[in-house]
Structure 1
């Protein structure tokens, strides 16, 4: 009986250890090329490919969870998933609520886009930005009126329909829309490249230091062998900022 009890206890501990290795990766699924939903309804993009490789290197069994941007940090803190990989720049305000891994992108530039290149984006105009982004915080510190939207697509629509004179967002997100607009959308002169934040990292709960360490080690290994730079070039082009 004692032997059976010991065996049962060991099996329970083993099962618990296995379960602890399953990590739920939270993302928005609406911010290409970082993360988006493909035609098959699956999460894809730079962060999906990167996240899957990081999980493989860290020997973690990872699943992906889609969550709206405006509640993505609260739902991490509430343990609805275990990480955030959603184009989230590292900054001091967010560090008050969660921890970050080392950045897996350099400090990627933001930019202003409008229907005219001579908009005074820091003056008496209306600028659209996605809610709870570093771009929204930046606009709020200027003389412009900030108009916030839940999704990035809505910020662009606001410029097109006249609700806002300009939109401020990650340049890599805006670039395809500018290119495909046939001159309707243009970069605002002098504000084509605005660097904010410390780079994009993976968000984790402050209590998950061990998990953070595993992902930090995996990111370091990808920087060291050049595979992270290859992914950056694949998703953001040959001229993408690299490590």
Structure 2
């Protein structure tokens, strides 16, 4: 899903101490529905809020939710502003060199193009993607012109306003816009990433083990599948 490249200075911050307390600060974007968003009461909500709260309950940890803009979400984890990233972040080799990941809590899925019309030139046109994502990286390697935006909503607005021809993003994130706002999927889906996992500092091996155990139990008893269906529908890949 999302691809962030860090500087050598940020890498050096990985030497921070592991978590010793039972309160875990869960870092998320709060702007990527239905994975995570801010509800009408100003609270973090969505698929990852429910998954994260359940993980913490099973690991006997207290969760505090923190929001952070996407483009600095890894540096602020590394520097200790929060203890996890649970924000629709795909597991990639590049990220794994900087931070650690739990096992996936969302199975590998495809990315897709969406536009207001099906007569779009995907190979030579102008395509929007959220900045620092694996989708942006993919478009940059094609013949299309990439235009990056800070949030998914910004990419959608760019398509509506005619600034770009199409948006390229996680297919599941685009479904509400296709179903409710007149968008249509165009072209073929593109498999990207290795599923979505929780990001942690490499020094937090014990915390990783606790969350991995929680995810394993949620897969085993069907809780994770139930949440996947609740937020993404019956057609979603399940464990």
* TM-score where L is the length of structure 1: 0.88
Structure 1 segment 1-243 matched on structure 2, within 5 A? 20-121=21-122, 123-181=123-181, 183=182, 185-188=183-186, 190-191=187-188, 193-243=189-239
Measure the CA separation in 1 of the matches of 2:157 and 2:109.
23
Q: CA deviation at 1:19?
A: 6.5
Q: CA deviation at 1:240?
A: 1.1
Measure the CA separation in 2 of the matches of 1:116 and 1:108.
24
Q: Tell me the C-alpha RMSD between the 2 structures.
A: 1.2
Can you give the 5+ residue segments of structure 1 that lack an aligned partner in the other structure?
Answer: 1-17
Equivalent position of 1:4 in the other structure? none
Larger strand share, 1 or 2: 2
Measure the CA separation in 2 of the matches of 1:81 and 1:177.
31
Q: In terms of Rg, which structure is larger?
A: 1
| 1:94-133 deviation line (CA, Å, top 9, x unaligned) | 1121111000011122110112213231x22111000111
Moved over 2 A (4+): none
Measure the CA separation in 1 of the matches of 2:110 and 2:233.
14
State the secondary structure of the residue aligned to 1:198.
Answer: coil
| 1:124-182 deviation line (CA, Å, top 9, x unaligned) | 2111000111111111111111110111100011111111111001111111111112x
Measure the CA separation in 2 of the matches of 1:234 and 1:115.
27
Larger helix share, 1 or 2: 1
* TM-score where L is the length of structure 2: 0.90
Higher RCO (CA-CA < 8 Å; seq separation 6+): 2
State the secondary structure of the residue aligned to 2:148.
Answer: strand
Measure the CA separation in 1 of the matches of 2:229 and 2:159.
29
Measure the CA separation in 2 of the matches of 1:33 and 1:110.
15
Can you give the 5+ residue segments of structure 2 that lack an aligned partner in the other structure?
Answer: 1-18
Size of the aligned set, in residue pairs, is: 221
Measure the CA separation in 2 of the matches of 1:213 and 1:71.
25
Measure the CA separation in 1 of the matches of 2:231 and 2:116.
26
Measure the CA separation in 1 of the matches of 2:202 and 2:144.
35
